[in-house]
Structure 1
């Protein structure tokens, strides 16, 4: 579970992932050692990963979301296979009519066709639903956690 200091650190890092520990400590009213230890703990626990994000569409790339239906293998096994593909940047198991959700980025349409061919040939993949993004309005935000019970990142 995240406590208030953890949530405030994450909230600050979502605004500026390059913020210094000294600056964060000053902003949060805690020591630099506290910030350093907590960021390290969050990163080691896989709860936090600091990355640079870009809009692939603005860079002329193809951005795609895929819903995969699995047969003859477990969704977890198929998800692990998919996670090794370099053009896939997000893999998640899901509940409902589909088993695996993917997000991918391809440099062009030819690479997208190759990715789809590679996915369709994987053992266990029975159906692929393709959603090709045309315009991106919002992506990768923790703001949705603000109202999550026990995990909010902002004070109400």
Structure 2
């Protein structure tokens, strides 16, 4: 379970994952050791991961979103197979018309074709809706947590 200090810590790191722990400690009115310990705990619990984000389109890469329907297999099993693919950087089970949502980045169109072929060959993959991104305006996956980071047990 996370508390209000963890929520504030997560919010600060979502704005700038390179922010010095001393600065965070001052803002949260706790010690630097407390910040360091809490960040380590949140990472161990897989609640927090500090990464650098880039816009793959500005680097000349292809970015694709796939919505996948599964038949005759468990969506969770298919999702685990998709997560093993090097070009795939986001896999989620969902509700609605499709069972699985993935985001992938490919260096060029040839690699994108290879990815699509590999996904189509996976056991259980029935249908795929493909969306190739043309322009990316915002991609900060966790920004939606700013006002509600984590569950409040009360």
Corresponding residue number in structure 2 for 1:103? 103
Corresponding residue number in structure 2 for 1:51? 51
Corresponding residue number in structure 2 for 1:130? 130
**Map of 1:140-155 to 2, 5 A cutoff?**
140-148=140-148, 151=151
TM-score w.r.t. length of structure 1: 0.91
Cα distance in 2 for residues equivalent to 1:128 and 1:38: 40
TM-score w.r.t. length of structure 2: 0.92
Cα distance in 2 for residues equivalent to 1:145 and 1:22: 23
Cα distance in 2 for residues equivalent to 1:14 and 1:146: 8
CA RMSD of aligned residues (A): 1.6
Give the deviation of 1:27 after TM superposition.
2.1
**Map of 1:69-88 to 2, 5 A cutoff?**
69-88=69-88
The answer to whether the 8 Å contact 1:14/1:141 transfers is: no
The answer to whether the 8 Å contact 1:145/1:151 transfers is: no
Q: Deviations over 1:97-146 (max 9, x none)?
A: 10000000000011000000000001010111101111111112433124
Size of the alignment, in residue pairs? 152
Corresponding residue number in structure 2 for 1:113? 113
The answer to whether the 8 Å contact 1:11/1:142 transfers is: no
The answer to whether the 8 Å contact 1:7/1:151 transfers is: no
The answer as to 2:65 corresponding to 1:68 is no
Q: Deviations over 1:20-63 (max 9, x none)?
A: 22221122211111111111111011110000110001111000
Q: Helix, strand or coil for the counterpart of 2:136?
A: coil
Structure 1: which 5+ runs fail to align?
A: none
CA 68–37 in structure 1, closer or farther in 2 if over 3 Å, else same: same
The answer to whether the 8 Å contact 2:11/2:149 transfers is: no
